[in-house]
């Protein structure tokens, strides 16, 4: 349960087990090799391909060490399945900057488990979880709504001209 006390650090571990039925799933440190493999895969997938993001740019983003951000590889057993990047503090709560799963690993509960992890690791007093999703990415929007996120705002032309993003918020119990 989130918000268990004011002294617990947010997102401070190096490895976490994810609650996925019938599978051993983990979040762990993303390696440069992980970032390169995922960058290439995500560059070929929507919504990233629709923005013209290169494999190199995505790999660099995933591998970057940055204070206040948690970056993890998502693994199912020992197999690389995706990545998650969380900005630890933003508008009274963490911001999910990136969640991507490779096609063979979608629909297996990993995304749900990653969101539950994000909520469980939020620091004491967190009021919100935040994310942006490409407005045309209906599948992702429905997924986030199913997990308690609500539309907060439409951000026109945020990432690219002619493409809109939906800012979504999940309110946390205090």
Domains of the chain: 15-171 (3.40.630.30)
Alpha helices by DSSP H, the chain: 32-43, 55-63, 110-121, 138-146
Weakly modelled stretches of the chain, pLDDT under 50: 1-9
Collapsing DSSP states into helix, strand and coil, what is residue 131?
strand
Residue 50: exposure state from Cβ atoms within 10 A (0-12, 13-18, ≥19): middle
Structure tokens given for 117: 């992890």
- Cα 30 from chain centroid (whole Å): 13
Q: Residue 4 has what pLDDT?
A: 45
pLDDT, position 11: 63
Of 37, 97, 50, 107, which is closest to residue 69 (Cα–Cα)? 97
What is each CA distance from 6 to 9, 26, 92, in whole angstroms? 8, 25, 14
Cis, bond preceding 47 (omega within 30 deg of 0): yes
C-alpha 108/C-alpha 110 separation (Å) is 6
């Amino acid at each position: 349960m989130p918000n268990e006390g004011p002294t617990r650090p947010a997102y401070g571990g190096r490895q976490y087990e994810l609650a996925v039925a019938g599978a051993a799933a983990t979040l762990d440190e993303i390696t440069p090799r992980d970032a390169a493999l995922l960058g290439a895969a995500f560059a070929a997938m929507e919504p990233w391909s629709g923005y013209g993001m290169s494999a190199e740019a995505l790999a660099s983003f995933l591998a970057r060490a940055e204070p206040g951000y948690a970056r993890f590889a998502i693994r199912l057993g020992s197999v690389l399945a995706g990545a998650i990047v969380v900005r630890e503090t933003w508008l009274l709560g963490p911001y999910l900057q990136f969640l991507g799963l490779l096609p063979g690993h979608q629909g297996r509960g990993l995304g749900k488990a990653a969101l539950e992890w994000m909520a469980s690791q939020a620091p004491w007093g967190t009021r919100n979880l935040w994310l942006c999703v490409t407005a045309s990415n209906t599948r992702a929007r429905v997924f986030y709504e199913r997990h308690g996120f609500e539309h907060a705002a439409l951000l026109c032309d945020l990432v690219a001209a002619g493409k809109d993003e939906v800012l979504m918020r999940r309110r946390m119990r205090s």
